[in-house]
Amino acid sequence: MSASKFRSLVNKGWLQDQHGAWPMALLPILVGFSWAGWSLAQMLLLATWFTGFLWFSSAAKWFKAKPGSRVRKRLSPAFFTYLGLTLGGAISLFFYSLFVSQLQLFIWVPIFAPLIVVSFVASMRGNERALAARFATVCAASLMLPVAFGLESQSFLAWFTQPQWRLIWVVTGAFIWFFGGSVLFVRSLIRGRLLREWAVSSAIWHLVGACGFAITWFTGWLGCFPFVFAFLLFTRAVLMPYLQRNGSQFSAKLIGIEELIATGLFMVLVFTGFAV
How many Å apart are CA 28 and CA 149, to the nearest integer? 10
* Residue 275 banded pLDDT, cuts 50, 70, 90: low
1-10, 46-55, 90-99: segment of lowest average pLDDT: 1-10
pTM over 0.85: yes
pLDDT given for residue 79 in this prediction: 93
pLDDT digits (tens, 9 = 90+) for 117-168: 998 888 888 787 888 999 999 999 999 999 999 887 666 667 777 778 888 9
Cβ proximity of 206 and 237 under 8 Å:
yes
pLDDT at 238 over 60: yes
Each domain of the chain, given as residue ranges in start order, spans: 20-154, 162-276
How many Å apart are CA 163 and CA 76, to the nearest integer? 47
pLDDT given for residue 155 in this prediction: 66
